[in-house]
Amino acid sequence: MAWTAVILAAGKGTRMASQQPKALQKLAGRALIEHVLVTLSMSEIDDVVIIHPPETKEGFIEKIQTEIKTTFVEQKEALGTAHAVK
């Protein structure tokens, strides 16, 4: 059976006092999204869908180094989690 993970990565990170989205914030020298992708690569996940804000697709692409098939979906308006996966 094929498994797909959905990563909601459109959070702004305003409480982190940064202009970068939360998913691109650094932890232990790597972007948070990198930590998630490393964990997913050790699982039975076959595909990843990353939901991102419109202005950051290039930043996400630069951070992603994974063997897992990855699809980017732009969330044009930040209207919450339910809207992101709609």
Given the residues 15, 27, 29, 44, the one annotated as active site? 15
Q: Which residues fall within 8 angstroms of residue 48, CB to CB, at 6 or more apart?
A: 4, 5, 6, 7, 37, 40, 66, 68, 69, 70, 71
Of the candidates 68, 21, 64, the residue with the CA atom closest to the CA atom of residue 40? 68
Of the candidates 65, 4, 58, the residue with the CA atom closest to the CA atom of residue 33? 65
Q: Which residue has the tokens 């869908």?
A: 49
The reply to whether 30 belongs to the active site is no
Write out the catalytic residue numbers. Answer: 15
